[in-house]
Structure 1
């Protein structure tokens, strides 16, 4: 197998040479390249390179899938070969005229939430571990009961599990300012203002233990603990206002005047206009999602489990991060995660079947790592490198995901967090749900595997 340096060199040649590359960046799994002339790309040669699990155009970017870890090393080698990298925000600016407005909006939404997801993942893991160690069955092993757990220990676990959601508006406003060209620290302070302890706590208001402050006798003002949409829009508008004033305030006064004006305008807008309106919209979205997830007879799982990976292909699946956050914030658990997990596991099962059945070394070398990637929660290598390329494996993966999602809904599985699935996702079910979680995933994998193995792939088609 070629080294990472050799793969980088071969890739640069296959996309038309250094002179054809306008800019390059990477995400968790893909090398994202903007080229000057698409016609110079030898796409067949790119897909034949070692470690490449697929390649495609999306929103003006030529995206080459390497998988987690590998993509970082290939990117480093391209930089060593003299290719100037771009940040994601710069790449977004260069490709913003590509794709329709909806695609661009969703891509931007994803750019805001991707940096926040790791802390939400960590919080979900802490929730899972707390659920595990506070179970009566687990405590009984050590001769303890729930009454033996000290209040101070429970307080410590609450610090771990609640902080990210209490200050979520600060994280969202910080990231939104960063994406839209504002000063991130101003966004952070604005977000902290939205959860100031001087305001009535949102959870206390919801439970009836506190009342909103009414201005002009009709504008309710509360804190926005756990809210996403008000902080996102406040960050977007605030960043635009900051850029407007930075161009007009004299440089000698900019350090003092611009942050003062931005924070003053935005806290008034946020508390008296954006917040109350968007809080209502947020509740509508949550209720709509909850209604879908509560559809009887497992229909919600069947529908979401089947269509989820189709949505992944379009690249707009990042919007569901917002929905998962809302579910965790309002319900205290996440019924969406087990359904999505089944759809991801099924695509891994389909790719695994291709690897087992194929006698082609190249296909085995592609299918096995791709299926492992899916079982770790990332399906792009399996979808674009194996399943979608052959058609039937992808369809059978959708069927497996639908059946698995149906079971997840029937069993009423509830994750304690978000953003991790399949094998890592077991950490979100470290309670009495774990056996059922494993069963749902095994069924999804088995159906996709068997259908693909017997009806979905032949080597002669690949040749």
Structure 2
């Protein structure tokens, strides 16, 4: 695939470099923010070789490429002259006003997106270490275990530092100041004061200590407020004093404000969100399992799954387990099964190779090539995935399965179903639910999804 040619065509059809305000990418999509989406020739872009689909959602113009999106992203960056490592094409603020939903969606993608790969890696490694201790391959006292666990648990433990940096980049403020504010939240003396129930005051004001390790929302809100205050001092202070005193004065205001007001309120919100998620699940676990297992991939189509990521991370941070992501995990097996059934049934060699190769990527948690290359063009296969996913979701929910970490989907996420306490009876049920989703969807796709000789 010639990605330079692909990039040239996409940039032309999207309205040229001057129509691009911002460009990022996720696992499978180029995510453009355009000045005017009406200029883009969407139908022609969809028909461009190397493009699976185009989604316009959340204030973004999303060009679905597939698993080779990084190559396409690099080629587009070269085509538009974006070589300085930033995702911003133009620094000035856009005149276009987003509605509240679009603004929230863009913020979530910008803050959470850059750390997802490493966050997933830490979750996968943590689950793999649990697998090693379960089968007595390693002991928690072994040096090998402790060194690897330092990364696996450390990233999630110090998540406020990472999010502080990422959020500050989004809010166009000093990212190192954001990281330092996050560091204050997880500073060892503060953590000790919380665990030992020691009382703290700031200028006589009592501080309600909370656990901010692994937290999500407190630091994002704090980074947003810090960006406003820092901008104020940067504009008002003399040039000679800006670099040192602007972050200093910002920290003096924001850090105490975070501990006294922002942190407790955001923590209560986080706990409430986790309780709401559990409450909705507990109303009818079986219905939740069937519904989410069947139709979660429809949310992925519109690119809205990013909006749910903070909720899923928050569930792990507050409850140390998550029943919702446990259900969602089976949906990738349903689509992988569809890809296998499709590959076995079609006669065209290129389509057959596409089905087999993307069965593997689906098992590794990347489903969008299957959605846009198989499920949507051959709609009956999508119905097959709905049925298989619904069955797998029902088994998962009925058994009360939980995920104990946040990471990759498919087989890479399997270790996160291992209970850290060592009680892993439910892991067998997870394997059964995943197998049911895969087999049912695959058999249905082979029998009813396609005739085999479609053009």
Decide which of 239, 251, 256 is 1:251's aligned counterpart.
Answer: 239
Q: Is 1:441–2:434 an aligned residue pair?
A: yes
Deviation at 1:131, TM superposition (A): 1.5
CA distance in 1 between partners of 2:191 and 2:11 (Å):
57
- Does the alignment pair 1:213 with 2:200? yes
Flag the 1:62–1:459 CA change in 2: closer, same or farther, 3 A.
Answer: farther
Equivalent residues, number: 448
Shift of 1:96: 8.3
Contact between 1:55 and 1:385, CA under 8 Å: does it hold in 2? Answer: no
Counterpart in the other structure of 2:329: 341
Residues 201 and 224, structure 1, Cα contact 8 Å, conserved in 2: no
Task: Tell me the CA shift for residue 192 of structure 1.
Answer: 0.9
Measure, in 2, the Cα distance between the counterparts of 1:243 and 1:17: 32
Q: Residues 78 and 282 of structure 1: is their aligned pair in 2 closer, same or farther, counting only changes over 3 Å?
A: closer
| Deviates further, 280-289 or 95-104 | 95-104
Mapped to 1, the partners of 2:59 and 2:314 lie a distance apart of: 32
Alpha-carbon displacement from aligned partner over 1:47-67 (angstroms, at most 9, x marks no partner): 344332222333454422221
Q: Which residue of 2 aligns with 1:303?
A: 291
Q: Which runs of 5+ in 1 are unaligned?
A: none
- In 1, Cα distance between equivalents of 2:368 and 2:95: 22
- In structure 1, what is the Cα distance between the partners aligned to 2:252 and 2:432? 54
In 1, Cα distance between equivalents of 2:386 and 2:78: 40
> Is the CA contact 2:126–2:416 (under 8 Å) kept in the aligned structure 1?
yes
With over 3 angstroms needed to count, the CA separation of the structure-2 counterparts of 1:437 and 1:280, relative to structure 1, is: same
Deviation of 1:7 (Å): 3.5
SS of match in other structure, 1:412: coil
- Tell me whether 1:159 sits opposite 2:178 in the alignment: no
Residues 60 and 156 of structure 1, relative CA distance in 2, 3 Å threshold: closer
Structure 1 stretch displaced more, 117-126 or 279-288? 117-126
Q: Deviations over 1:46-91 (max 9, x none)?
A: 33443322223334544222212x2222333344445547944558
What are the ranges of 5 or more consecutive residues in structure 2 without an aligned counterpart?
A: 419-423
- Taking the aligned partners of 2:443 and 2:91, their CA distance within structure 1 comes to 41
Q: Which residue of 1 is the match for residue 127 of structure 2? A: 128
In structure 2, the CA distance between the partners of 1:39 and 1:231, relative to structure 1 (3 Å rule), is closer
Structure 2 distance, partners of 1:389, 1:57, is 18
Using a 3 Å threshold, how does the CA distance of structure 1 residues 60 and 107 change in structure 2: closer, same or farther?
closer
Does structure 2 retain, via aligned residues, the 8 Å contact 1:51–1:366? no
Contact in 2 for aligned 1:59/1:98 (Cα 8 Å): no
CA distance in 2, matches of 1:24, 1:181: 16
Question: Which segment is superposed worse, 230-239 or 151-160?
Answer: 151-160
Matched, 1:236 2:236: no
1:73 is matched with which residue? 71
TM-score, normalised on structure 1? 0.83
